[in-house]
Amino acid sequence: MIFPCIDLMNGKAVQLIQGEKKALEEADIDSLIEKFKPFKQIQLIDLDAAKGEADNINLIKEIIKKINCRVGGGIRTIEKAKELIDLDAKKVIISSSVFKDNNIDFDFLKDLNKTIGKNKIIIALDTKKEEVVIKGWRQGTGINIFKVIKELEPYCDEFLCTYVDKEGMLQGTNLDFFKKLRNSTTNDITAAGGITTLEEIKELEENNINSALGMAIYKEKIDLKDLKQINSN
């Protein structure tokens, strides 16, 4: 499955290179929603909330009314996760809240599962050189993704794994990394970070891995018509 991405910053859709340098900005979010409506879901990320600087919750509420969304960015409490599910987010994506003092916060995960259910939870395991990074990719945890993914498997329905080393660079992603991840868990996996070509997407699909696409769509490196065809197969 393919998930087009809308990343929010200051009320606009943006695309960043490795989570820092802004590569483009789009104020007309309604036009993006129209483009993405043929897809079953989009991935909606509040970058301001992820970085702890502000939030775009009012805009998120409006977007959720118009298109099916999985929502992430700055979801650090049970209350915030429940609020988004109650607003009809299909799933919530959690990241920083999974870890406390560079260890898994099992109490938080157990409470979240009881409150909204495992099938509504995506755990984001974003990495730089295989190290899980949090808080908008700005803080390392010292945790290797391949050592932690199996422990987290019982607490979510899916993993969103961003290969930050290639994020936003349009240089291709690391397919071997994602294939290794596929062999590390039975949960669904959505890959992100540097995916640039249809060939990469098809190879990920062949390995039962979803794709979350941002820069390649916005820079028109990949035609939406081709993506729709893959998604309908």
> How buried is 51 (Cβ within 10 angstroms: 0-12 exposed, 13-18 middle, 19+ buried)?
middle
Active site (annotated) includes residue 30: no
Tell me whether strands 139-144 and 131-134 are parallel, antiparallel or unpaired.
Answer: antiparallel
Of 7, 48, 165, 226, the active-site residue reads 7
- How many domains is the chain built from? 1
| The model scores a pTM over 0.85 | yes
CATH of the domain at 40: 3.20.20.70
Active site (annotated) includes residue 176: no
Of 30, 88, 126, 176, the active-site residue reads 126
Q: What is the dihedral of CA 54, 12, 139, 209, to 10 degrees?
A: 130
Residue 116 sits in which domain range? Answer: 2-232
pLDDT tens, the chain, 233 aa long: 999 999 999 999 998 877 777 888 888 999 999 999 999 999 999 999 988 888 999 999 999 999 999 999 999 999 999 999 999 999 999 999 999 998 999 999 999 999 999 999 999 999 999 999 998 788 899 999 999 999 999 999 999 999 998 887 788 999 999 999 999 999 999 999 999 999 999 999 999 999 999 999 999 999 898 898 887 76
